[in-house]
Structures are given as C-alpha cells and as structure tokens.
Chains A and B, each alone.
Chain A
C-alpha cells in the first residue's frame, strides 16, 4: 500500500515532482561536471602550462659549476652529456610526470664561404625506444607550443633547418634557401622561427647534423625537460637546499612526491655527471595556478549544491503546503507523523534520484563541453564522482526537506480538514 501511494503520487501528479527533479538535475549536473573537470584538470592545466617551456634543465656538472661560480659560459675544455643517456629520464620513479624533453647542442656552424652562423642542434620530433622497451615521442614541437613557424618544421633526417626570424633578416635568408656547410652538408631552410627568445638569433637543425659539424658524435650540451610537478612546500624547499639535510622519513616523503626538486634529483641519479636544475619560477607558479583552478571548481560545486538545496527546500515546502489537506487527512485516518514523513521523503527521494541520474549524465556532457572549450581536450569520466555526487545529493535532499518536515509535524488534522 505504501508503494501504491508513492506510485500514485509520483505518476498521477508527476508535474508536482518535475521541478524538484529538475532542480536536483541542475545541481547534480553542475557538481558532477565540476568534479570531473577538477579531477582531470591537473593534467590539462599542466599540459597547458607546459607552453611556458621546460621546468628542468640538465647540464654537465662542471659546466653548471663554472657558470654558477664564475658566470662563464664558454670554456675551452667543454663538457658534454651523452645522448645515449636520454632514455634513462623515462626510468625514474616519476616517469609518468615527464611529459616531454629535448636535447640541445649549441655551437657555430661554418659555411662554405667561411662565415659562421650561431646554431642549435635539437630534436624537433623524435621517436625513441626507451630502456624499458616502450617507444616515446618527444621533441621541441611538443614542448614549445608557442613557437611560430613560417613555413614548416624540419623533418628529421632530411637535412633541413629553421632560421631564427632576426637572423633571417640579418643574413637575408629565406624559406627554401640552401646553406652549404664547409663539411659538405647542405641544409634546406624549411621555415622561419619566431620564438621571442634567443632562438630568434640562431639556426636550428637536427641534433645529428650539429654533432657531425662540431665533430662530437653522441654528445649533447643540455636537456630541457617538461615535467608535471606538485607545488613546493617547506619540505621541498628544505630538500632543494640540500637533500642530505633531511631525516630518513622526510627524505622518503620528499622522494616519493612529485616536487620539482625531487624529480630533478632523480634525474641526476640516472644521468651520470649531470646537474639538473629546476627553472624554479615556472615550476612553482604551475602548481599554484593548478591549486587555484581546483579551488575555484570546488567553490562552484559547493555553491551549485547549496543553491540546489535552497531550491529543493522551497519546492518541497510548497509541495507540502499544497497537499496539507491530503496529508492532514492521512493523519486523521490514523497515519503517524513518522508515517507521513516517510511517505513524503520517499516521494522526494525518488524524484530526486531520477533528477540525479539525468543530471549526472548531463554533467558528463557539460564536462566535455568545458574540456573542449577551455582546454581543447576531452575530460576523462572519473567513476569516483558517482559516490561523491550521490552522497552530496542525498545531503541536499535531506537538508532541503528539513523545513518541510517541520511543517508536517505542526500540521493539525483538525485544522486543515476544516479549512482553517
């Protein structure tokens, strides 16, 4: 009989519950969209922020020392890193946080006519086999998303090069020109690069071309790495100063957290005789922006649920008021307060759950819309959102029903039945 009554109310007077379901649907859709985006946004924002370039630079140990102490950049006895060590970067504990990297080798290229051009050898787009056997594609194209190219990126192995926009004007070099080196290699200019940085004054070509011209096979001068990191805290700062100062326990926590200093430390561990330095400012602001973005989403979630609770409480109160005669009648023919409250709550919960399910799926759609408009990428649907949203929805419905329950308790059958 209980279910017969619930069914009767819901089916034969469905319009009364439509708005409740709709309000819940609205709140739930916003909440689930925001939560889904929030859980996925770490990745998205970081990839987005990667646009600001590398956050870790690896150089040979002594070169870093000389630079730090004397401010020297050019030493006659130049030290290098080994190209063959690059794959080891993807073997560290935080390997999944390493988004991209690119080796660089700088120097002057001597042309056939004897003139010199400042140049940089690197990977534009390079696929490598990692020590683990997996393949990994990386390079400058992935890391430097803000680079503007007039023409095209060089294709690896085709003896092509990019010319920095300033150098191009200075030397009057254009796309399609061919530069002949004194070692016989010929480089075709595939594009003009505007980066806003030092690269505008240089010629950029394949790492291999550069190694051959400088006669340093298998050597590189530095590595730029883009990694997803956790915001720094006191522990991270202490560790960055000197990892040996940490207690055993602190050290473990630090090592197993994706602080930029911990990642840099782990890179030094795998690449012999190297110095990995965080480009600190960028690394820190990335974490902060991420925190703030997530806080904003959380705030929107809470606010949307609060407004849903307010809406539900209004609608439920109105519902009870409209039905006061009928509910008074139920009391008059013997229903207890508890019985009537149970009946009303069941009806509201069913309506709410229908709204919740609809809202959840609408929220998934909304998350995709947010993903594609804001981040230009899809948002992963996190199943964790379902229990969280369910708990939140039940809370919203319960909180929203409190005023109505109080009204129900005060409902006097004698008064309502006689129209007073």
Chain B
C-alpha cells in the first residue's frame, strides 16, 4: 500500500508538471536559503582552519574606555598595554595570545606592488592557533624577546615571491624592514578573523613604539580555556581585571568595559549593540534566529496546504472512486500524506543540491579568500525534518478534509 502510494505519487507528479513545479519551487527555495545562510553563519561561529579550537576559546576583540562621568568614550579594539599588563597575566585560561589586527601593507618588488595582509603576534599565537606548517617553524618566545626580524608567511606569499623551492632563509622586505622567513604555513581562510593573514611577524618588531603605552587600539587577544566549563571563571576573572586597571598617567580616572566572548556572543553583542556589558546573553539571538527560520519554513508549508486545498475539488471524483472501491479514511489520508512527503523529499533533494552548488560557487569566488563553505548536514537535516513535519501537517489537513467527503458527493465532483 505504502510502496504503491509512493509509486502512484511519483506518476501523478510527473503528469502534473505545473503543480509539481510550483510546489517544488517553494520548498526547495526555502531549503536552499536556509542551508546557505546556516553555512555562512556556521563558518563564523565554528571556523575550521587554524581556528579549529575556537569552541574552547574566548575572544577579546572590543572594549569600551570611558572617562569619569562618561564625558568621553572610546570604543574599539583593545591596546597592547592593556592586553599585555592585565589580560596576559590572567590565571584561569590555559593560554593567552595577543596579536594585532589584520593590516594591509604593500610590498614592492622592483616596480611591482603587492598588497599583503600583515599581523604582529606574540609567540603564544602559534600555540593557541593550529597552523599547518609546510616548512620551517613559528617564531618563539626568544624571537619575541629579541625582537628578531623573522617572519612566517603563507603558501601563496611564498609562491609569489620565492617560487616553488624552499623559502626558508630567504628575506622579505616590508615597510623598510627586512625579515627572514623561518616558516611557511598553509593558506588561512578569510573567515578566520584572528588567524587570517599572509605574513606574521613578532610584535616587538613594530617600528613605532607608541603601541607599548596604548590602552586602546590595534590589538586583539584570544583566551584558550582548558575546557568550555572554565568559561564562567575566565569571564569572572576578566571582570575583576577590569576593576583593577593600573591607568598610565596623566589619565586620571577611567573605566574599561566589555567582556570576553564566544563567536556567538560576539554576534549577539553586535546585534543588540551591547558594547559595554560584561556578559551578553545569546538566548534571545538564538531565539530570534530560530523564530525567523521557523517562520521562513512555514511559507512553503502554507503554500503546499493552499495548493492541496485548492486541488480538493479537482480530486473529489478520485476520492469518490477510491471510497466506492473500499478505501477508508485512513487509506486516503495516508495516500495524500505520502504524496506530500514524496514531493517534500524531492524538494529536499533539489534544495540540498542547490545549496551545495551555491556554496561551492561562493567557495570558488574570491568573496572569502581560501575559505571552504560546505552545506551543514545538521542544518539540512533539521530543515528537511521541519519541512517533512510541515509537509505532513500541510498534507494532513487537506487529506482529512478530502477523506471525509461523502462518496456520492465526491463522485459528483464535489458538487451536489
């Protein structure tokens, strides 16, 4: 019975091309959008590449500095002085790294000019983030202390300047400084907001020493926890740190606000513009996103319900016929629900393929350098499940209405 219903459903769908197209279009389109959006969100929340340990990390990307009475407010990335004196000394995280924001600098080779992404980092950076070294090694604490002019470069930079051979021992000229290449890493996806760059050099090689006194600006920190269960303790310690800042003279009374965040919390902080809060809650953001997704998912099921209801009259005589030959209401509901499910399953397949193609195109494009987007199976499965649930619901009501039709009335085509 079920197998036959599936077979018949496929045959009917093949015959009713316009109806099939309309139904498939709505459902597939919804799934595609859902999966693509989720994949984009996902890669920021759980990035791969060197940031694959992100689930164990808290990021410090933003803080707010206020003068007494709130007359002046600076908000933006924290400064090196603040990070090195107050954050780096925190006890609860396993490791803490300080690194500069991504800066684009130009490298001249003869008359040719190349733009590269440069980062100044500490030595711990290489322990917190999980770079894949193709050759050489990262710089270490010794290099950092000595302000050694050494650099780690990515594969693309290596190929551009040094061709296919080894780059170790070669030098690269950046902004009038000469760095010796000691390591080459695989290209980093642009979606890794802390790891992405082309060239990495030790912080103390910065020519301008002003950063040493800056409380705000230019740097970020990542705090690697032993496990996620340490997050509350780390957040508490950071809050305590903010209360005991040793402000450089002649600044007088200032306060520092903000918190350390997971990627989702970063998003929630931006979404609700809660730059000054110590902790932000992600519950509302998650709820809002889920609700949006749910409402979005309701569209194709309403579409299906609508189409199904309007087809009742068209199918009245079929119902009358089936009832005359022994179909009971259960048979008919089952048949119509299966038809809906078959339709939904096909739409799911198309939706998944569509999402796959779109994500593949984004990967191929230069939108996010080196980033690979792939459909998230969990989101797809959840989306498909929802559509199946809605598909069933959208099928059940019309089916139930159809199945209850009086056989004689139905045979007359639904008109008495």
| Chain A bound to chain B | no
Residues of A that sit less than 8 Å from B by CB: none
Residues of B that sit less than 8 Å from A by CB: none
